[in-house]
């Protein structure tokens, strides 16, 4: 079997970066894409190469369907395959629903939901041909509950859509040895959330602490493993009990 290859969106920083490095330590070649974080992406690639496998970074706006499709083609051309797709990119902004703009509303779907469809569809052909594949889409804790979210409404709806999209792809691709699952973090200290916000929220987390990127990495490593071959269409909630 050829060396495994992963494509990670949002792999330049945060959770995506740590998953990239963890896979490299397991001898996976890793391609990452970024939109603006070129220096961070180059650093991540250098770290992957130091570990031993091949790292590759490409600038790509995955909200553009053609760009997303070309990204997949370029990675397959370089490595010959994509065995795992991990959709970590997912920006958000806080805006009350009464003050949300059309541009802000659309951007949440363009950047959180639509790329998951574009990229899941684009990698499917190669995975079907090889009769093996792993896809992990990132949503958010409580996205399955259809709660009222007045400050992150569009982001929340987009992440709920990721759950439904995941299940649809899982059902379609399961006969071909491909699993499609979701990881839904609650409060994880990945460097994107303000520290004061995390400290306020820790009092509401039954586990008593904020999650770390390692928690997300461990979940991802399990879902791409052979041991998780029968786990399909699932939503792994990574919240320390928050939201239960």
Is there a catalytic annotation at residue 222?
no
H or E segment at 134?
strand 133-138
pLDDT digits (tens, 9 = 90+) for 185-241: 998 888 766 677 778 889 899 999 999 999 999 999 999 999 999 999 999 999 999
End-to-end CA distance of the chain: 42
Can you tell me the distance from the alpha carbon of 135 to that of 164, in angstroms, rounded to the nearest whole number? 14
Q: Which of 34, 56, 156, 230 is catalytic?
A: 156
The structural domains of the chain, ordered by start, are 5-238 (3.40.50.720)
pTM of the complete model beyond 0.85 = yes
Burial class of 162 by CB neighbour count within 10 A (0 to 12, 13 to 18, 19+): buried
pLDDT digits (tens, 9 = 90+) for 10-30: 999 999 999 999 999 999 999
Residue 23 in contact with residue 47, Cβ under 8 Å?
no
The H or E element spanning position 30 is: strand 29-34
* Nearest alpha-carbon partner for 16 in 241, 180, 35: 35
């Amino acid at each position: 079997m050829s060396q495994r290859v992963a494509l990670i969106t949002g792999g330049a920083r945060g959770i995506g970066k740590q998953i990239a490095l963890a896979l490299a330590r397991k001898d996976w070649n890793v391609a990452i894409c970024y939109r603006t974080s070129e220096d961070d992406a180059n650093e991540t690639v250098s770290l992957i190469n130091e570990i031993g496998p091949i790292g590759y970074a490409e600038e790509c706006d995955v909200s553009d369907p053609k760009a997303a499709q070309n990204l997949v083609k370029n990675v397959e051309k370089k490595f010959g395959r994509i065995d795992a797709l991990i959709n970590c990119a997912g920006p958000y902004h806080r805006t009350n629903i009464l003050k949300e703009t059309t541009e802000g509303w659309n951007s949440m779907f363009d950047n959180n939901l639509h790329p998951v469809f574009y990229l899941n569809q684009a990698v499917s052909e190669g995975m079907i041909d090889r009769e093996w594949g792993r896809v992990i889409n990132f949503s958010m804790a409580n996205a399955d509950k259809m709660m009222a979210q007045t400050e992150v409404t569009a982001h929340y709806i987009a992440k709920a859509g990721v759950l439904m999209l995941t299940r649809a792809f899982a059902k379609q691709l399961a006969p071909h040895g491909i699993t499609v699952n979701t990881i839904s973090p609650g409060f994880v200290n990945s460097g994107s959330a303000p520290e004061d916000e995390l400290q306020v929220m820790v009092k509401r987390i039954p586990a008593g602490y904020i999650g770390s990127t390692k928690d997300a990495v461990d979940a991802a490593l399990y879902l791409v493993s052979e041991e998780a071959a029968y786990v399909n269409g699932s939503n792994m909630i990574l919240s320390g009990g928050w939201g239960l």
